[in-house]
A and B are shown apart, each in its own frame.
Chain A
Amino acid sequence: MIGRAGIKEILDYALSLKGGCELECSLVCENSALTRFAQGQVHQNVAEESASLAIRAISGKRAATAVATSLDRDIVSRTVRAAAENAARSPEASLAPLPGPQSYADVETYDAATGECGPSERVAKARLMIDAVEAKGIEAYGSVETQAVETAVANSSGLFAYAPSSSCSAVISTIKSGAYGYAEAASRKMGDINFGALGSEAAERCENAKDAQSIPAGRYDVILLEYAVADIMQFLCSTGFGATAYREARSFMTGMIGQKVMGGNITIWDDGLDPSGMPVLFDMEGVPKRRLELITGGTARGIAYNVSEGFKAGVASTGHAFPSGTFQPGPVPINVFLEAGRATLDDMISATETGLLVTRFHYTRAVDPKRVVITGMTRDGTFLVKNGRIAHSVRNLRFTESYVEAMSRVDMISARTKALGGRSGACVVPVLKIRQFNFTGVTEF
């Protein structure tokens, strides 16, 4: 860790080189490490120390960016110069003013035990998952990742933001005789994750998934575990809740603010400060995180903005900017919550005459981004529910379904939620029971 003072010194130096330009500087310094295993043995074990400096230079109505992966003063200086030269060569455009100084919430985002975790400890955590799986005679595949990240933003208008953060994520996949299982977890604190329990969850799912039978494609009621629901949230965010897609009329939210777009039992919001997710204090323009209502009782309420999209729309940034100079679809919510309900998973199964219990989705892609029509496969444990009980495992199916329209057909929502994601954000989601999900194909396993 470089620390607040060291990071500020680097960014102050960059700002001192501004010449005739205004500057916006972001710096992300990261120590990441990942231990990965296959068939119960470690096959990849890596550590990466990186620094990503992005300088956006604004000269009157001209702006451009330069990025570098170094903290050397010489490179910082060259990067500022490159950004200024790029700006000078850019055509004029209508530019938003830089945000001034901000104040930030006091939310804990760094856990030293996680950020400083060494390879022996990561292997020990992997072993906890592997042992729980191999004890059942099942093959274990997965990973344990830890990160320590320092994020800072500074600009010529006096803004300075700095926050350290840590994260840990664990994934466990299980395979036995053509049956598959899965579990994952993520937290700012490694101590929050019960690795042995994750292994047991994935092993149990794999045991239950044996002897999968093929069933025909068609519409089925589905119970989607949190892993699958997180995929729905991610697509709603990336295709629908961002201001760029909204402005360009590529979003299902375009023109629908204040109108019903989902079922009345659906409430979705973004909150970078909620510690039950993966808290983040500010975005990459230094704008503080705050709660943003997206869908309330099925009604479209809000959109995520960065500074430039807010300027175009005449509203304030909601704190959803990504680093400048990177290929992004524009501002997107990354700390998303779907309101829990009251049901248990057993309630949902009991209430299902004929349906499917789906562990997670795989390789999902947008067929029609505006309607959020997504195709993808089920993976790692799909089960037929018959007369209120799990009947047997089934071979994986392909679905082609509008996630927006599916969110108008939610019958039951679990009380339990799970936080899923990575270091920069998370979805906190419950289990959902949805009517008549559209399955359009089957595979051979």
Chain B
Amino acid sequence: MKDFARAAVSRAQASGASYADCRVIERLSQDIVAKNGELDRLATGRDYGWGVRVLVAGGWGFASTFRFDPSSLESTVKKACDIARATASLRKRPVKLAPAPVVMASWTTPIVKDPFLVDDSVKVGTVLEATRAMMQPKVRTASAMMSFLKETKTLATSEGSLIEQVIYESSASIQAFAMDGREVQRRTYPNSIFGDVRTEGYEHIEKTDIAGAAPRIASEAVELLSVPQCPAGTTTIILDPTQLALQLHESGGHPMELDRVLGHEADFAGTSFLTLDRLGTFRYGSDSVNVVADATLTGGRGTFAYDDDGIPGQRTQLVKQGILVGYMSSRETAGELGWESSGANRADGWGRIPIVRMTNVCLEPGEWTLEDLIADTDDGLYLHTNKSWSIDDRRLNFQFGTEVGHVIKNGKIVGKVRNPVYTGITYKFWGGCDAVCNRDDWHVYGFPCGKATPGQNGHVGHGTSHARFRNVVVGVRA
């Protein structure tokens, strides 16, 4: 991999590139899915290829291929340079890269049990057992899945960096659909969006214990069929860490990506209400709201040693005591403003260019416990596990639905409601955050993230604990 990457970079320089980098990536994957006591899918994958990114005459070109023969190296580098020249013909100003250190390094996700060495019969047995444990009257579909990824990535740059990283990911999750006439209710565990993906080994699967959680999840899905609809009104809500993670992702992480702020995503994902003139002064949330992007957290899905610019993974303060103080950036976007990169430039595999991605965007823990938070709430809803999500293209107006709503009266949980939905305007919502639970309650959840054209799937994490928000509109219905 190293020699090939260096050769591609050298060829690009010889072809006129003022800057070039090459990533050679192998991804090994395994997906196991069971449904209603039967195996639905057992699939393994190997995805291997490389991409070369060049700057010629101030314009970017990128080309990638799965072919590794010498003529493909030659033709693919030439293609990238030809593309860059075409780019340069429609540039108003040349790309300017922020500085980067020259790095020679290798790094591997610290894991205890390599998931690819665990016997498949153990994995298959676990997902089958989990679905069987969910089968009870009114549960129409019970499914369970496991996914594993091992990505081996070599980055060489024309500035002399040569970095090798091996990143593992593991996840397991279950889902129960209960039905009763026209009503359909769903419960999932440990998180609704492909489970809780973490950069850990099989030890994460053992800790997650999907088979152990299965009976409870199935019973909760059935119970939801007969609880009242969430009432409409304005109230206090407490969000569980999984829902808060997605809230933070959509209304915090995305608008703090510098490429969105600069308009690079305007034709697809959208822009951001957190414009540059608001940096350092805009009140994004209450004093309780402190947000960081931290690529160094153990186990986070957005954890790595170096991004695809070769910038070290780092911790960046985004919001401090409610005030916007930073963005996530790449060498290109930071360079446009004369800043240093925050090390957040990552591509989805070998075939796509790196773009600004969230790392692990986290709401820093506060002082509360969940028990105290509920006891301190006179009237409200405790909302658990995401079911739907949507936000406008500048990341202001959002609406989320959750699987479960617990009704709080006089400091106690007194019942459940189904189909809870809440909505708001981002900075007003975070401005109503008056309590965040402590580090004992805090966990980094892994999420996928769609962005860019051609589409790229990002690997991101969010550290969150329970938190409380005042004056939130709930109960939106069709």
- Chain B, range 317-368, C-beta contacts under 8 Å to A: 351-353
Do B39 and A90 touch across chains, with their CB atoms under 8 A apart?
yes
B408 to A: closest C-beta gap in Å: 23
| Chain A residues within 8 Å of B76, by CB | 49
Query: A118 CA to B352 CA in the complex, in Å?
Result: 18
Do A49 and B67 touch across chains, with their CB atoms under 8 A apart?
yes
Do B42 and A38 touch across chains, with their CB atoms under 8 A apart?
no
Query: A413 CA to B66 CA in the complex, in Å?
Result: 47
Query: A36 CA to B353 CA in the complex, in Å?
Result: 12
**Residue from the list A39, A48, A364, A369 in contact with B263, Cβ < 8 A:** A39
B15 contacts chain A at the CB level, 8 A cutoff: no
Q: Which secondary structure dominates chain A's binding surface? A: strand
Q: Which of B97-105, B211-219, B417-425 lies at the interface?
A: B417-425
Do A400 and B86 touch across chains, with their CB atoms under 8 A apart?
no
Q: Which of A3-11, A62-70, A155-163 lies at the interface?
A: A62-70
Q: Which of A50, A90, A363 is packed against the most chain B CB atoms within 10 Å?
A: A363
- Chain B, range 107-144, C-beta contacts under 8 Å to A: 120-121, 124, 128, 140-141
Do B63 and A46 touch across chains, with their CB atoms under 8 A apart?
yes
**Residue from the list B39, B393, B401, B421 in contact with A362, Cβ < 8 A:** B393
Do A250 and B388 touch across chains, with their CB atoms under 8 A apart?
no
A365 contacts chain B at the CB level, 8 A cutoff: yes
A205 to B: closest C-beta gap in Å: 14
Do A32 and B454 touch across chains, with their CB atoms under 8 A apart?
yes
| Chain A residues within 8 Å of B268, by CB | 143, 171
Q: Which of A32, A36, A401 is packed against the most chain B CB atoms within 10 Å?
A: A36
Contact string against A for B residues 254-276, beta-carbon threshold 8 Å, 1 for contact and 0 otherwise: 00000000111011101001000
Q: Which of B93, B270, B392 is packed against the most chain A CB atoms within 10 Å?
A: B392
| Chain B residues within 8 Å of A141, by CB | 263, 266-267
Q: Which of A278-286, A299-307, A370-378 lies at the interface?
A: A370-378
Query: A114 CA to B434 CA in the complex, in Å?
Result: 56
A123 contacts chain B at the CB level, 8 A cutoff: yes
Contact string against B for A residues 86-114, beta-carbon threshold 8 Å, 1 for contact and 0 otherwise: 11011101000000000000000000000
Q: Which of B43-51, B278-286, B290-298 lies at the interface?
A: B43-51
Q: Which of A32, A44, A324, A366 is packed against the most chain B CB atoms within 10 Å?
A: A44
Query: A123 CA to B477 CA in the complex, in Å?
Result: 45
**Residue from the list A37, A87, A122, A400 in contact with B477, Cβ < 8 A:** A400
Do B41 and A325 touch across chains, with their CB atoms under 8 A apart?
yes
Do A46 and B353 touch across chains, with their CB atoms under 8 A apart?
yes
Give the residue name and chain of the B residue nearest to A68 (CB): B46
Do A68 and B45 touch across chains, with their CB atoms under 8 A apart?
yes
| Chain A residues within 8 Å of B38, by CB | 91, 93
Residues of chain B whose beta carbon lies under 8 Å from any beta carbon of chain A: 31, 38-39, 41-49, 51, 59-67, 76, 79-80, 82-87, 89-93, 120-121, 124, 128, 140-141, 177, 179, 182, 184, 262-264, 266-268, 270, 273, 351-353, 387-394, 396-397, 399, 401, 419, 421, 423, 425, 453-454, 476-478
Given contacts A65-B44, A93-B38, A145-B453, 15 further A-B contacts (CB under 8 A): A32-B454, A42-B91, A47-B83, A50-B64, A50-B65, A70-B48, A91-B39, A119-B86, A123-B89, A250-B141, A367-B478, A398-B399, A400-B476, A401-B478, A405-B478
- Offer 8 A-B interface pairs, CB within 8 angstroms, sorted by A: A44-B353, A66-B45, A67-B45, A68-B48, A86-B42, A93-B38, A369-B184, A377-B391
